Amino acid sequence: VVWTTNDRLLLEIRDDGQGFNPETTKISIGHGLSNMETRGSNAGGEVDVTSEPGKGTSVLAWVPFSEAESLVVE
């Protein structure tokens, strides 16, 4: 789902899959979650990952419009 507020562009992705423990995953071999958080921060926004084993995952990312406008690809 993509939507906007007065000052932000937001993207939310949800699934009802197996889920995982985000804290344990951050310290594992992969860098996917930390890379997403770094990219969100570099764009002036945030990435929030919520997940629980057996209950799926939700990723909410937002950037301010000033940054979102520069990210648009035509």
Domains of the chain and any CATH numbers: 2-66 (3.30.565.10)
Whether this model's pTM surpasses 0.85: no
Q: End-to-end CA distance of the chain, in Å?
A: 20
Q: How many CB atoms lie within 10 A of CB 37?
A: 16
Annotate 32-51 with DSSP letters as a single string.
HHHHHHHHHHHTTSEEEEEE
Quick: pLDDT tens for 4-49.
888 899 999 999 999 988 777 665 556 688 888 889 999 999 999 8
